[in-house]
Structure 1
């Protein structure tokens, strides 16, 4: 190999990786890996040394950057062939890769490192395209590979990823000098080239040629006829039923550990769940290791017609769930050995509902979404295989070997400890500004998925966007005084994240007037927003929480004025007192369901407050005879601690009161007022 600048090699590799990974036709999220070899000067010896840069463990091609690459010396990597102890001990070779690293080595090398290092080509791509896996999982995949590609792409029988697979591919390349790649049985594709452009061209050629073959030669209805009773419901009816079922489905997916959900009702999914072959194909499960590691060995399929009511579905789901758990436990026991890791959980990760769509589950929203995307990939694979042959995934025993692989278990153990509110779904009202916005930000920072609800939908969407992408937060418009809009906000929460665990009743406003100037409209408006609005939100959320059987938290942002008779705010103080008593009443009523209800009593939160900015600040300043800009300092001076209260301080109290540290606390009102003795609870 001629001298090639490492910087240029890395730049080409990253650009190629990002192009390949950005196109879902080429590979799934975090699936596959790419590599490049080049020559650099060894800083110790001053001599040229051939290096390989390869995507490290756990990265994603579409967003790969240089820190995500492992850097190894090619000579040392290839020398491992001489000490390879055989397939029975090939897992030991992953630890051996550490002795091949160059310098600090970059990212941790993945199990596929040998595939890239042993192939005699400067650039190698290993990808998981739907079209390629369709051929790889067809019953006669080897013959199809010959028919589609001739001798340019070779067939490699299924073998679990590892050192031996790398040797297999290297042998195929050596024995077939005209080949540009191979189809890996049950798995995916690998392609190579002397330049980065050639490797990418060969990869995309294999993918596109496979796709065109399936399109031109496949049967028109590979899944069989559409079954009328499982035909997709109209969109509005479909989503309403999905929302009604969501908390019950989450209960099914979360018996062993709390999961976040993701809903997909794309045409691909709806066609599959309405098809004649649904149950037979679903039972076969997925094949590509990337797929079933996230989707589990097979999905749970609701075997009722689309017309079945939510109540009928819930009853049948209970039966199917028990059967699924028994089946998964039997699968584990059939294949587990004395060295196998303990069973991780027997609940489904994918639930298919005829007429409605698919719910997927994971420890967080991204994991849940990716699991759903992988099952869509699997549907596409099944369609392609059934179009030209019949779908024949790898054996169940091989799936178990990967799902309960010691290396996979080690990867799971390396995951960081979950944050305080990880796996929880929060709905915060009045969250586009002030206390609500700070609370949404704090819960998101603590790992929760957050729905930002506000009267102003545009500001809600903007505030949610500031918290991250849709895997972290979404914004919805909601007038909490209107039952329909409250129900719609909770429904949006269920469809966005699969459930609801935590509600913060923060929406509010204040009008500061003496009794004789307070109008009926003033009174009604404040009670509608804070007393009635909190009731409507708590009722809608509690209904879902009870169905989930996971407990939950309802937190009211009340006020010091619920206890303290401040001047000229009869309507506001009375509405806040109503909220404070709702805390007590609901804590008593919902405790049997594991739902805790607590409140936070702030005072003097001026900076960043939507209420104060909306006129309340000017009104209160006039009452106290001070300039409005001095109001925060005025409130601070009258407290025991002499400190100004900010929205973030209230948000901290919310995060604490609904945390595991206070798991046995309900019915509590927490003052966050820097110390106002007149508002002490007594």
Structure 2
């Protein structure tokens, strides 16, 4: 049963964390002190419940709390070795845990345990950080809040900061909180409601003061030629630039992207001061750990062509990498972690918007959200004063903190298809859906393309949030709809790595009953449709310069002459030869092209359920419900083939074990000797 104090803390945390004006995603921490019975001594002991490392306030649950004995935590003051060795105190928290201790204690645990208040909130609100990063932040704190809020000079999060805040609270008994220079806010209270109210008062008072007293144009006047393009034009330009930018951002390691053309971003980039402010970088540790110390900003107007923009982005990227390496060299010590990569996490394009990157879609999206937080902070600081983030050396100390490195080392090993972005056609049901499901399970981001938008979106929702999969409408006989699907893919996930040509249909008829329309329909969907999808995808893959995979779901019929099936089998043979042709042509770009030849996939198949099954059953003289078993009996292995078996083959062909295989057709038919490849 959850302790009432802990339950109250969770409810408060969820309320504070669910409103972005209060704190950024996974930013800040909250705590409560209370009493619980020790099951060993049967005596009541004072405990501290505090949000654990890496959790998010808005979604915090009981398992996300660290639980520590307050007496033991406060006794750590007696063994504290000083600020030069304060990192050792994180390991010392393990000796203060109560029972199993819950989640791992965060670096801010000391702040919560040492401050003499029953409830403490540490948050990263944009309005509060605006005061914290203003050049005259200390004076502003006094002016904005009077004696209710005290200024704390910048100090890296840790045990010493906890001691500092505890001393400041003791010296200022009337204060209800403090502004942490360059960082955020901390508030406290005797009750949970009082702590929450004090936090909100600081946040809202800062925001109201900025609104009432700030300059009208904190980012300066509009910069001619840098204003936002019309929506359709800017999104088309973003889609055209996305593959190249993702390729640049993946120079050290593959990343997933996210795109935002939020008004706040476009306004920032359209203002005269954006180059100066962008170069200063972010300040709050949560911000620059996600966004790196500064973004890459294209220094061309919105009217610059795609080709001009790409040429300049390549130059700026090379310069960014040189400057980042120099930043590392300026501050690295012999015991610093190795440089983690010199590519930007944020790329800003005037008139278009922001691209952000990370190890997965959520990380990339959140990085962009954090940079929007940073823009809001800059706006507030510049409205009242001058934006003055913490200095570069301090940023380096946090970015390459041994504790941060240890946290990264604890991350689980990435799944086989992590950072890969897949587009699967005809994926709302059957084989396509099974393929999309398997790729998502292996860590890929997936775009489910289908004729029926609602079914595509429903299938995507089954795989998870839009950080995992999205559904789009795409008729593969339409170049316009194909390009729209590709554009949706690169704008949602940053690029494209893996294409599965699965969309198809079949009409089972003998030669004399096959009409011109029957022939054209099947060839337009499968042969021509696959060609057009591959062509559109190849442009992205080539621009990215990251290699990639194109998979054709062909058929046993591409090599086996079955009865009454002229149009379907001929178009499958066309697809099969496209595999060979494209493997040869695209190999120089590192793009592998392979095919899969299924047979007898009855259960779960959209083609079979659409009437094809009944017609094939009639050809073979068996009841339709027994068609799968009939196909199984005629195979060498005597096994029925399911959509999941085809999905398995796609996962293997596009995974890490077959990196040197292209132009291959894999039979997934349980063994049909007549369809053996010769």
Give the TM-score, by structure 2 length: 1.00
Match of 1:407 among 389, 403, 407: 403
Q: Does the alignment pair 1:257 with 2:253?
A: yes
SS in 1 for 2:186: strand
SS in 2 for 1:23: coil
1:32-79 alpha-carbon deviations (Å, 9 max, x no partner): 000111101111111110001100000000101001110000000000
- Matched with 2:651 is 655
Q: Does the alignment pair 1:362 with 2:371?
A: no
- Matched with 2:608 is 612
State the distance in 2 between where 1:127 and 1:216 align: 23
Q: Does the alignment pair 1:578 with 2:564?
A: no
Gaps of 5+ in 2: none
Q: CA RMSD in A?
A: 0.7
- Matched with 1:295 is 291
Q: Does the alignment pair 1:331 with 2:365?
A: no
- Matched with 1:152 is 148
- Matched with 1:35 is 31
State the distance in 2 between where 1:124 and 1:587 align: 61
Match of 1:24 among 20, 38, 53: 20
State the distance in 1 between where 2:6 and 2:45 align: 15
CA contact (8 A) 1:6 1:38 kept: no
Q: Does the alignment pair 1:562 with 2:554?
A: no
- Matched with 1:635 is 631
- Matched with 1:481 is 477
- Matched with 2:176 is 180
Q: Does the alignment pair 1:217 with 2:209?
A: no
- Matched with 1:382 is 378
State the distance in 2 between where 1:6 and 1:619 align: 61
Shift in Å at residue 252 of structure 1?
1.2
State the distance in 2 between where 1:657 and 1:326 align: 37
- Matched with 1:272 is 268
- Matched with 1:230 is 226
Q: Does the alignment pair 1:133 with 2:152?
A: no
State the distance in 1 between where 2:648 and 2:62 align: 37
- Matched with 2:100 is 104
CA contact (8 A) 1:6 1:39 kept: no
SS in 2 for 1:600: strand
Q: Does the alignment pair 1:142 with 2:138?
A: yes
- Matched with 2:165 is 169
State the distance in 2 between where 1:13 and 1:563 align: 66
- Matched with 1:471 is 467
SS in 2 for 1:229: coil
- Matched with 2:544 is 548
State the distance in 2 between where 1:14 and 1:300 align: 38
Match of 1:281 among 277, 281, 301: 277
Shift in Å at residue 495 of structure 1?
0.4
- Matched with 2:437 is 441
State the distance in 1 between where 2:476 and 2:59 align: 40
1:444-471 alpha-carbon deviations (Å, 9 max, x no partner): 0000000000011111011101110010
User: After TM superposition, what 4+ stretches of structure 1 lie above 6 angstroms from structure 2?
Assistant: none
CA distance 1:6–1:657, change in 2 (3 Å): closer
SS in 2 for 1:109: coil
1:64-118 alpha-carbon deviations (Å, 9 max, x no partner): 1001110000000000001000000000000000000000000000000000000
State the distance in 2 between where 1:422 and 1:47 align: 49
SS in 1 for 2:321: helix
Match of 1:118 among 106, 114, 117: 114
- Matched with 2:669 is 673
CA contact (8 A) 2:504 2:522 kept: yes
1:158-183 alpha-carbon deviations (Å, 9 max, x no partner): 00000000000001111111111000
Match of 2:240 among 220, 244, 258: 244
State the distance in 1 between where 2:30 and 2:104 align: 14
- Matched with 2:525 is 529
Shift in Å at residue 7 of structure 1?
1.2
Gaps of 5+ in 1: none
Shift in Å at residue 6 of structure 1?
6.4
SS in 2 for 1:183: strand
CA contact (8 A) 1:6 1:40 kept: no
State the distance in 2 between where 1:337 and 1:446 align: 38
Give the TM-score, by structure 1 length: 0.99
CA contact (8 A) 2:2 2:62 kept: no
Shift in Å at residue 263 of structure 1?
0.3
Q: Does the alignment pair 1:587 with 2:583?
A: yes
State the distance in 1 between where 2:349 and 2:275 align: 12
1:631-677 alpha-carbon deviations (Å, 9 max, x no partner): 01000100111111110110010010011100000000000001111
